[in-house]
Structure 1
Amino acid sequence: MPTTATSTDTLFERLSDVWASLEERLDQVPVLRRLAEGTVTLDDYKRLLFNLRQQVVDGSPWISRAASSFDMDHFVLRSAAIRHAEEEHRDYQMIERDYVAVGGTLDEIRAGRKNIGSEALSGYMFHYASRPNPVGLMGAMFIIEGLGAKRAAGWAARFQEVLGLADDQVHFMTYHQQADAEHTGALEAILTSGIVDDAGADEIVRCAEVVARLYAMQLEELDS
């Protein structure tokens, strides 16, 4: 049964609750807490970039896998995933450039491996993307793109304020404010289009809950 206006409102309310819980958890992440307090170091920032890169490099591949898992009855979602994968497939290179700009080397960051949280997050995303018609992944995008649109630019500005970084040293984060705002707008259009039924809404919320927890774990477990 198509989602009604009332059930759409309920879906956004449920996703808003997931987002609020994520923000509370992010406030307790050590590197983000130090950033807020103004005690963050350049090494902290380098470690953050180093760890993010290892998971971001998997972003376009799992989105592509999701696209291949949608049948023609879900053509809108398939098309959106294909476009998104194309837009994201070079994002990890921005992180590499930022990392080199703050004194790291390409050899270092490319030789890195995922931390515990990144392993869990990436594994979950590939597993879910392999399911037939993985509608729930819109919940994952709500979290991941929401972080880019709502938090990344603020983090970048704070890193610049505390560490005196130049624009070309925080490009990955600043870029994603605009890019992910566009993605969240496209996602909202799909969620309000009526193509998501009640079962799909449940999947979306559950996936958002899991991804929110795993993304926070990725930030908590730097270097683990």
Structure 2
Amino acid sequence: MSTTATATLADRLADVWADFEDRLTRVPVLARLADGTVTLRDYERLLFNLRQQVVDGSPWISRAASNFDIPHFELRAAAIRHAEEEHRDYLMIERDYVAIGGSLDELRAGRKNLGSEALSGYMFTYADRPNPTGLLGAMFIIEGLGARRAAGWAARFQEVLGLADAQVRFMTYHQEADAQHTGGLETILESGLLTEDDENEVVRCAEVVARLYALQLEELDR
């Protein structure tokens, strides 16, 4: 009997998350953060690269919302709410970047790195599908990262680099905000709205996004 047939959706997503966490430990900038050798330049580069992808977050969620039909009204409504909550997030990165001495003009003129290009391209392409329920898997990864890891990263950057609270707002904000989002996501995943095919798509999308998000962090500036 296959794993798909015997494991719950929660179990399957937990496995994806465990693999994602393991891969993150091998991302160079995060490894330096963990061992205390991270530099202010590393943090600046991280913010620079994240901003170029985060600015696309609300647009792909909005596009996904527009492709849910009436039988998927609850998913459409949730996506619309989420897009509204996310559409200013990149401004927090910009403020953090300027607060550590970065140039706002250079930040806004930046381009996506290789991983960010792949991630955004995948998200927009998937969002164009009719009833793109698999994107719940993308949200599981991205929102889970904010809820489970962002505040810890912020605290570690502050500890190693002596940063002020006003220089890590993006990460600290996302612990609370994404925790709320993941709570809503769990409600949807456990609601019975998803068919077996939907669940398979959720897991596959989570797997792809986990890999591409890690790639984004691995390919800073490329």
What's the C-alpha RMSD, in Å, of the aligned pairs? 1.2
**1:88 counterpart residue number:** 86
1:131-142 mapped onto 2 (5 Å cutoff): 131-142=129-140
Which of 15, 24, 39 is 2:13 aligned to?
15
The change in CA–CA distance for 1:79 and 1:214 in structure 2 (over 3 A counts) is: same
**Alpha-carbon distance in structure 2 between the residues aligned to 1:17 and 1:193:** 21
CA distance in 2, matches of 1:56, 1:172: 11
Out of 23, 28, 31, the residue aligned to residue 29 of structure 2 is 31
Answer yes or no: is the 8 Å Cα contact 1:148–1:181 preserved in 2.
yes
Structure 2, unaligned runs of 5 or more: none
Paired position in structure 2 for 1:3:
none
1:49-68 aligned within 5 A: 49-68=47-66
Contact 1:121 / 1:211 at 8 angstroms: preserved in 2? Answer: yes
Q: With the length of structure 2 as denominator, give the TM-score of the two structures.
A: 0.97
1:76 is matched by which residue type in structure 2? E
Q: What is the correspondence of 1:68-83 to structure 2 with a 5 Å cutoff?
A: 68-83=66-81
Q: 1:186 corresponds to which residue?
A: 184
Superposition deviation, residue 9 in structure 1: 6.6
Stretches of 4+ moved more than 2 A in 1? none
**Where does residue 4 of structure 1 map in the other structure?**
none
Equivalent in the alignment of 2:214: 216
- In structure 1, the residue corresponding to 2:112 is in which secondary structure? coil
Instruction: Using the TM superposition, give the Cα deviation of residue 162 of structure 1 relative to its aligned residue in structure 2, in angstroms.
Output: 0.1
1:40 aligns to 2:38 (yes or no): yes
CA separation in 2, counterparts of 1:222 and 1:215?
11
Taking the aligned partners of 1:111 and 1:87, their CA distance within structure 2 comes to: 24
Deviation of 1:8 after TM superposition, in Å, equals 11
User: Is contact 1:8-1:192 (8 Å) kept?
Assistant: no
Q: How far apart in 2 are the matches of 1:43 and 1:181? A: 29
Q: Which of 170, 188, 195 is the equivalent residue of 1:197?
A: 195
Establish whether residue 130 from structure 1 lines up as the match of residue 128 from structure 2: yes
8 Å CA contact retained: 1:30, 1:220: yes
Q: Secondary structure of the equivalent of 1:34?
A: helix
State the shift of 1:197 in Å: 1.0
Mapped partners of 1:149, 1:126: distance in 2: 23
Report if the CA contact (8 A) 1:74-1:133 is conserved.
yes
User: Which residue of structure 1 lines up, in the alignment, with residue 102 of structure 2?
Assistant: 104
The letter for the 2-side match of 1:153 is A
Q: CA deviation at 1:93?
A: 0.3
Cα-to-partner distance string for 1:39-76 (whole Å, 9 max, x where unaligned): 00000000000000000000000000000000001000
Q: Distance in 2 between matches of 1:159 and 1:210?
A: 28
CA distance in 1, matches of 2:7, 2:166: 40
Distance 2:41 2:189 in 1: 40
Partners in 1 of 2:57 and 2:28 — Cα distance?
24
Number of equivalent positions: 219
Q: % of aligned pairs identical?
A: 78
Q: How far off is 1:105 after superposition?
A: 1.3
Instruction: Give the match for residue 167 of structure 1.
Output: 165
- Give the residue type in structure 1 aligned to 2:106: E
